Structure 1
Amino acid sequence: MVVREWRGRAEPERADAYPKHFRESVVPGLRGLAGFVGAQLCCRQIDGKLEFLVLTRWRSLEAIRAFAGPSPERAVVEPGAVAALIDFDATVRHYEVIEDVASAAPAV
């Protein structure tokens, strides 16, 4: 499995704009792609701005290429994201998952 990491920044006054775009546009589009496993949207405040971290999980780098094109390190940023953010990374990082640990199931 491969994790794809991307970041974008927004003004605090527009805190809901990118998460709304993510839920309504990004996630439905990703769910229809072969090799897409899942996604997380994270947020933190830094230097008076909000920074969003998007982590998507893919079965392989080939699946990412099918989504991103022949230059998988180039970010795929939709117009709705551009409108919601003040700036964003033009490139992404990919990480091969070495271990994937979930919380233990509660004892019954």
Structure 2
Amino acid sequence: MICRIWHGRTTREKADAYAAFLEQRAIPDYRSVRGNIDVAVLRREDGAVTHFLTVTYWISEQAIRDFAGEDLLKAKYYPEDADFLLEFEPEVRHFEVVARQAVT
């Protein structure tokens, strides 16, 4: 299993709207791809800036390619991101999941 982590920053004023956008647009996009196991969006306030992490779990590199394209580490953006983000980080991070326990 692969964990894919994306980071983005927006202004605090736009943070609520961006969180709603991620929930309504990005999460359904992730979940529509065969091989996506889970999605979580994390938020942290830092003064006038708000950080977001999108943490997704995938069954394979091929599943990630089906979502993001051939360049596995290239960040995927939506046209609407230009209305929110302070910059466009070019890459995401991938980690091999070596241990995980679901809450029951």
TM (normalized to structure 1)? 0.87
SS at match of 2:91: coil
Structure 1 residue runs without a partner (length 5+): none
Other-structure match for 1:91: 91
User: Which whole-Å deviations, capped at 9, do the CAs of 1:8-60 have from their partners, x for residues lacking one?
Assistant: 00111111121111111111122211101111111112353111011011111
TM (normalized to structure 2)? 0.90
Give 2:20's aligned amino acid: K
In structure 2, how many angstroms separate the alpha carbons of the residues matched to 1:86 and 1:65?
26
SS at match of 2:100: coil
After TM superposition, the structure 1 = structure 2 runs for residues 34-49 of structure 1, keeping only pairs within 5 Å, are 34-46=34-46, 48-49=48-49
Would you identify which runs of 4 or more consecutive aligned residues in structure 1 move more than 3 Å?
A: none
Identity of aligned residues (%): 34
Structure 2 residue runs without a partner (length 5+): none
**Aligned-residue RMSD, C-alpha:** 1.4
In structure 2, how many angstroms separate the alpha carbons of the residues matched to 1:2 and 1:46?
28
* 2:66 counterpart of 1:66: yes
In structure 2, how many angstroms separate the alpha carbons of the residues matched to 1:41 and 1:28?
12
Q: How many residues align?
A: 104
